[in-house]
A and B are shown apart, each in its own frame.
Chain A
């Protein structure tokens, strides 16, 4: 009994909702409604069924021994607890998610490093009115005119003008 009760953790749905990105909100809402429905069902059922008043039945039921038999079998009966098949799968999913999210964070950090590099380069550029054309082409290599490929002015295909 106690092992089952402890399994239900309190979830901070507000904090959870904050972390959900916009494109997964629908899935999150579906999960939440399912969870709420389940907890409502759970709350509606009593933890233990009410006790059967054996003394009353023993006194009133005429058939001899029937009540005793019932009582014996009832107290001997053990209702089997339902078997948990899914938690293992969920744990496996969690491990996989941990792995993939670690990879994602790695990639994200690499991206951040690249962005920071570019940011540094842009921020430390000299102001435009102090640049020469060579300085400008150094800072933005894509503006350099290819004088070997197009030896005649304007050094780029006419369509690009």
Chain B
């Protein structure tokens, strides 16, 4: 598209959004003359038409002295030459720089907007997660109740164990007392019997029993010798 005409306000009230501005301005030839002029003359005069018109006009102005050549002409020619040289050389760079400035502005605004969108989305995520967490509150109370039940059960079992161990201790004590008494009686009796037996051995009896032992030993040794 060479050039898009923007329709000026053709009606009074127009609430439709304004269409976006075109990226580039209309096409021009030689930096001055819009392309439409050439297109306008093309059907009648072809490609060279506008140039012939231009040259003819120029020569007419010069020869009829409608435009007078004087010092200013030379000065303007030099100035124009310098200007055109400057624009041709540095134009694109300056344009790029200006574009960059604009780009940066737009990019920063866009970054702010994207960040805002991201923050909102994460905030929504967080809220949903918190809601999910809240649903788990029943676990807490179950745990608490469990703790209480465990404590009660432990307590009850401990009481049972205490009862049992106390009764057993008492019975065992009785048994142990009995056994101890029995033991002591036995020991005492044995000692007493031994003492009385030893006392009752008279010296006469002792001599007799020693002699008997010697005789027995002799007999034993004889039989042992005989066997060997």
Contact = CB atoms under 8 A, between A and B. Distances in A.
Grouping DSSP codes into helix (H, G, I), strand (E, B) and loop, the B interface class, with mixed when no group exceeds half, is helix
Contacts of A150: none
Interface string A85-128: 01100110110011001001100110110011011001101101
Contact of A52 (B124, B137, B164): B164
B48 interface: no
Contacts, number: 161
Interface in B117-163: 117, 120-121, 123-124, 127-128, 130-161, 163
B113 interface: yes
Given A49-B161, A111-B127, A42 B154 contact: yes
Interface stretch (B26-34, B52-60, B62-70, B168-176): B168-176
A15 B143 contact: no
A63 B174 contact: yes
A48 B163 CA distance: 11
Nearest to B178: A62
Given A11-B142, A31-B143, A119 B133 contact: no
B167 A70 contact: yes
A48 B153 CA distance: 11
A38 interface: yes
Grouping DSSP codes into helix (H, G, I), strand (E, B) and loop, the A interface class, with mixed when no group exceeds half, is helix
Interface string A61-100: 1110011001000100101111010110011011001100
Given A35-B147, A128-B106, A128-B109, A119 B160 contact: no
B116 to A, nearest CB: 6
A74 B161 CA distance: 13
Given A11-B139, A112-B124, A129 B106 contact: yes
A34 interface: yes
A42 B153 contact: yes
Contact of A19 (B20, B132, B163): B132
A9 B136 CA distance: 15
B117 A123 contact: yes
Interface residues of B, number: 57
Given A8-B150, A12-B139, A128-B110, A61 B174 contact: yes
B17 interface: yes
A108 B130 contact: yes
A105 B137 CA distance: 13
A42 B149 CA distance: 10
Contact of B153 (A4, A94, A116, A126): A4
B145 A7 contact: yes
A108 B120 contact: no
29 contacts: A4-B152, A11-B139, A11-B142, A15-B136, A16-B136, A16-B140, A35-B146, A42-B150, A45-B154, A45-B158, A50-B164, A52-B171, A74-B163, A79-B156, A79-B160, A80-B159, A81-B156, A84-B152, A90-B144, A90-B148, A94-B141, A97-B137, A108-B130, A112-B124, A118-B116, A128-B109, A128-B110, A128-B113, A129-B106
Shortest 9 CB-CB distances between A and B: which pairs?
A: A19-B136, A49-B164, A7-B149, A16-B139, A130-B20, A45-B157, A38-B150, A94-B141, A82-B155
Interface of B: 17-18, 20, 106, 109-110, 113, 116-117, 120-121, 123-124, 127-128, 130-161, 163-165, 167-168, 170-171, 174-175, 178
